[in-house]
């Protein structure tokens, strides 16, 4: 996601499009859709973001994912030791 923000050559032609799906499908139909035996669900709403909004969204999501990964690495691997473990207090 961060490459899309900083390097325009990584962007596909439809990188700004979004779709909204609602409802929860409790049955495992993903295999039937993958084999082509069932049609995929249709989106409730769809559109295209402006370039500035799309870049901001990708940047925010990329930073959140990196932060989650960093906290997870610090918590489970124990490195680097100089940084506080944010998940340590949850175990008590």
Kindly report the average pLDDT of the chain as a whole number: 79
Going by C-beta distance under 8 Å and a sequence separation of 6 or more, which residues neighbour residue 18? 46, 47, 48, 49
Our count of domains for the chain comes to 1
Of the chain, the percentage scoring pLDDT greater than 90 comes to 26
pLDDT of residue 10: 87
Residue 51's domain comprises: 2-91
Decide: 33 and 40 in contact? Cβ < 8 Å.
yes
Half-sphere exposure of 7 (CA within 13 A, CB side): 5
Residue 68 has pLDDT above 80, yes or no: yes
Number of Cβ within a 10 Å radius of residue 29: 14
Average pLDDT over residues 23-44: 70
Tell me the whole-structure pTM to 2 decimals.
0.62
């Amino acid at each position: 996601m961060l490459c899309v923000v900083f390097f325009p050559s990584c962007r596909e032609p439809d990188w700004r499009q979004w779709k909204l799906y609602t409802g929860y499908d409790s049955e495992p139909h993903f295999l039937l859709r993958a084999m082509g035996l069932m049609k995929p669900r249709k989106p409730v709403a769809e559109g295209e973001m402006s370039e500035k909004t799309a870049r901001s969204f990708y940047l925010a999501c990329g930073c959140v994912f990196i932060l989650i990964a960093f906290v997870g690495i610090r918590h489970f691997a124990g490195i680097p030791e100089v940084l506080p473990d944010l998940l340590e207090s949850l175990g008590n």
